[in-house]
């Protein structure tokens, strides 16, 4: 059943399909402040292979969360990746979830009330 | 690399591990207001099998997002599932993400600027 056909679970299940995948979270995190080149992105996402990183970036582009820009500078073709306005909006929407993770899952998180 | 050993990506990657999986989103959504019995949960999560639903509930319990309560009522043993305080906190933290989904992914979403 495609996402569109599924009953609207508050827009959440459609969002989950866009954000899911452990690498995408880390890629968006690496792009949160500035555009990055492929190599710099790879260094900031521990454990990802070039092949997987390239595929994840393509998917993020298809979901219009990331933009790929290629341009000529004095040294030749330069390619940079950055968050689109939709990607920046997603990054903001995920902050409360990151806060939840720090509250409940971090090694020093306070014990829950149950 | 276990979640705990990974650099703290703002708590987000740890959270993603807890929330990921298309069924868990829908299960939490079904539990958002009231405790539910297994059968009622299954009816509210289209397409899930009993086996998968039982496993997802066990994982949500292990993550202390869902609580399972069994008690005797006049008709025999009754089992209900509900969100824990941590689960309710997670549900709240996911609302902005659901809003993002409605803004950007719903069939009638306004076209993006970027």
Say which of B18, B90, B105 has its CB closest to residue A15: B105
To probe the interface with B, which of A4, A16, A60 has the most B CB atoms within 10 Å? A16
ipTM of the complex in this document: 0.75
Looking at the structure of chain B, the number of domains it has is 1
Q: Is there a contact between B16 and A17 if contact means CB atoms under 8 Å apart? A: no
Q: Please say if the pLDDT value at position A1 is more than 60.
A: no
**A 35-94 residues inside an 8 A Cβ radius of B:** 46-47, 64, 67, 84-86, 89-90, 92-94
Q: What is the 3-state secondary structure (H, E, C) of chain A?
A: CCCCCCCCCCCHHHHHHHHCCHHHHHHHHHCCCCCECHHHHHHHCCCCCHHHHHHHHHHHHHCCCEEEEEEEECCEEEEEEEECHHHHHHHHHHHHHHHHHHHHCCCCCCCCCC
CATH number at A88 reads 1.10.10.10
pLDDT band at A75 (very low <50, low <70, confident <90, very high): confident
Structural domain span for residue A46: 12-100
Q: Is residue B77 part of a domain?
A: yes
Pick the residue with more confidence: B20 or A62? Answer: A62
pLDDT band at A87 (very low <50, low <70, confident <90, very high): very high
Q: Is residue A29 part of a domain?
A: yes
Q: Is residue A80 part of a domain?
A: yes
Q: Is residue A87 part of a domain?
A: yes
Q: Is residue A4 part of a domain?
A: no
How does pLDDT run across B53-112, given as a tens digit for each residue?
Answer: 999 999 999 999 999 999 888 888 899 999 999 999 998 998 898 899 888 887 776 676
Averaged pLDDT for residues B24-49: 92
Query: Average pLDDT, whole number, for chain A?
Result: 84
Q: Is residue B40 part of a domain?
A: yes
Q: Is residue A107 part of a domain?
A: no
- Predicted pLDDT at B10: 61
Strands (E), B74-113: 76-83
Q: What is the CA radius of gyration of chain A?
A: 17
């Amino acid at each position: 059943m495609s996402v569109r056909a599924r009953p609207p679970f508050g827009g959440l299940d459609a969002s989950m399909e866009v954000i899911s995948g452990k690498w995408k979270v880390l890629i968006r995190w690496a792009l949160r402040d500035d555009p990055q080149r492929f190599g710099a992105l790879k260094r900031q996402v521990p454990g990802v292979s070039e092949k997987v990183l390239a595929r994840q970036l393509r998917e993020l582009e298809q979901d219009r969360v990331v933009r790929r820009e290629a341009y000529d500078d004095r040294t030749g073709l330069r390619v940079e990746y950055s968050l689109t306005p939709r990607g920046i909006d997603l990054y903001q929407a995920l902050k409360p979830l990151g806060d939840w993770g720090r509250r409940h899952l971090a090694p020093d998180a306070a014990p829950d009330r149950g």
